[in-house]
Structure 1
Amino acid sequence: MCDKAVNEMVRIKKVYDKHYTVINNSILNDTSLKWEDKGLFTYLWSQSDEWDFYAKEVAKHGADSEDKVYKILRKLEEHGYLLRQRQRNNKGQLKANKWLLSETPRQKWISMYKKRTDKKEAPIRQNPEQVKPDLEKPNMVKPDLTSTNCNKYLSKQIKNLNKSLSKERKRDQEVIEILINYLNEFANEWHRAPITFSPEEYKKLVNAVHNKETSSLRSLAEKTVIYSEQYPQGYLLNCIKNLPEVIKDNDNSQES
């Protein structure tokens, strides 16, 4: 009897309350969207006009993370339910973002999104001046050694130390170059101006990333583009400094 009851047609009756949102059925019946997409759109649609959007605050009202919220926003933009624009003043300077929501998919918005994302050419980036690492050799006081073999051993150790430092410095610069590429990728995606760095800022980034865990670089770049319009260089530097240190298991094995 229980199985039969489960398989029977179920009729749902709506219980109305004072607080409700009126929405077109188009997005609810759009099979190209997931339920999570429709849910976030409905939440945004329920807010008042000129409502200030913060992904961190929206994420608090659901079980999804900030990153997931932004992924859903891209999906809504791709299907023409959301248009994200960057306003400019009379001098052509970038101002705050302006987003538009539509209950029905707008073909013009879809075309604008495709035109932006289908660009194969990489965004123009001002390559920061590569600062040559200033690795000063330690001022070694020549000891009064009578053994020639001892002098040779000491000289070899100094050369190995400088070689090791150069390799690590090169690795740090390569990491920052990868990070800058991510920044330009997201700046293009979010209609933001490319983030540029002075030689001094670039040098600070290279120093800060030394011996840091870098698996979250891509996420770090996206958050920098989204959250830090005032001073992205400083925001990024602080984020890198807060990355966890790399744990080296073979430190003891290198001492011999």
Structure 2
Amino acid sequence: MAIVRVIKDKSNPYVMLNKTCLCDEKLSWKAKGLHSYLLSLPDDWQIYIEDLKNRSKDGRDSTTTAVNELIALGYIKRTPSKDEKTGKFKGGYDYEVYEMPIEVNESREINRVTENPKSDKTEIGKNPIPENPKLLNNKLKLNNNIYSLVIEKLNNLANTSYKSTTKKTQSLIRARVEDGFTLEDFYKVIENKVSEWQGTEYEKYLRPETLFGTKFENYLNQRVKFKQEKTTKEEIDFYPNINFETI
């Protein structure tokens, strides 16, 4: 996510904002607060809807509504994320946050995916942007933040203690992102399999090697089953030839 500010004083611990958004009567207080919060974040902060909703009492739907308000009025621009080297779309979105709103039509380029996407340099519309705003690069990239978010989610739900710095784990997550899957997809897979396997004989497979492997897409699209309270010996003996390491 890129953030366009009027003033940015790195030595100042306080947040310095243009008041345009705060005085915009077309915005809800929720959207105004979220906008101020986004502008207060460090330059290298990676922003995800799932992460934002975990930082307040609002749920995912409420957080998404606030983001969409800001998009509709030009305070946020959202575009499909693409690989910087190949130019191919890789899933997810890149965001730009503005202190002063850009043209509304420009900000509504939300879900349009074209063969020749626009440059990262945004052409500013009718609403003026102060001269020489500093554009801070904060795009959805493969970095330590996405690794830590995924593993933190797994550890919290499955009561495990995996490390996001493990090379094998990072390799699995990176492979799935390169396939076009998003952070929300990782969260859904984790939630699906924890719901199905926790408290059963398969709980030991709640691990990165299994969840983020080649069956990731199957896990993502499966219908969540209610887990059995206990797997009986008869049930286990009924499937003696199954290699559960490949599940």
**Bin of the TM-score, shorter chain as denominator length:** 0.3 to 0.5
More RCO (CA 8 Å, sep 6+): 2
User: TM-score, normalized by length of structure 2?
Assistant: 0.41
The structure with more helix, counted as a fraction of residues: 1
Higher CA-based Rg: 1
